[in-house]
Amino acid sequence: MHQLDHLADVARSAVRIGTELIKTTRPHTVTEKADRDTFTEVDVQIEREIRNYLAEATPKIGFVGEEEGRSDANTDSPYVWGLDPIDGTANFVHGVPLCGVSLALIQGDRTVIGVISLPYLDLHYSATLSGGAFVNGRKLEASKTAELAKSIVAIGDYALGEDAAAKNRQRIDLTAELASTVERIRMFGSAAHDLAWLAEGRIDGAIVMSNQTLDLAAGVLIAREAGAIVLDSTGDNHTTASKHTIAAAPRIANQLLTLVQSAILKST
């Protein structure tokens, strides 16, 4: 078996640990880590259990998690596992069934394996670099929509914490641009949902005005392997170093990029 195929099997097994915990556990402790940005004991439990599983299954590969940070293996491996144990924690806390486990195998500034599970919806996505993207075993293909006026576009949450007001002026300008252009705007509260559903053709575009690597790494690969275009606001291909995330069906990618650039310019 090719190494990436084997590691993809490992990743899917790891994510199943988180899937079961989300489905069978409710949070009792909600801790604030920044202004209105929280985590729960379930986030931490999932991260620890997946970290331990991967340390045993792939001892030569390092790991970084959203809640407890990095634990490097004693190795020269070019790879590192990156985990968001619950993407959409606020939804999880409030009982909104839009949250997921997102695990990526990252090499340098690109993802080579991405796995996302949406436990409450029983949707399980995965992709390997140049190997296609799949949901529950079915091959994915991004939307063929050619017009923004016929497109559903998801946007990421508004900013919290330091400089939130300034950041949100940009997001509000973007929302106004979208509202006058696209068929519908959606805010699911989870980048994993945004990018997985873009890959599946449920939506036609997804915009995140920040670039939190652990939130996005798996979904960016899954979207790309389904044929979507994923860019930075500069128009360059999106990487882990990008500032913004503009992901779209191929035929509307440039239109959506232009719209985002216009909103950024207006708010500066």
Annotation-wise, does 43 bind a ligand? no
The answer to whether 148 touches 252, Cβ cutoff 8 Å, is yes
Question: Is 229 marked as a binding-site residue?
Answer: no
User: Is 67 annotated among the ligand-binding residues?
Assistant: no
Buried b (16+ CB within 10 A) or exposed e, 129-149: bebebbbeeeebebbebeebe
In sequence order, the β-bridge partners of residue 101 are 117
Cα separation, 110 vs 5, whole angstroms: 17
Rounded distance, CA 73 to CA 60, Å? 5
Residue 84 is labelled as binding a ligand? yes
Measured distance CA(182)–CA(24) in Å, rounded: 38
Q: Please indicate if the annotation marks 86 as binding a ligand.
A: yes
- Point out the annotated binding site: 66, 84, 86-87, 215
Binding-site positions for Mg(2+): 66, 84, 86-87, 215
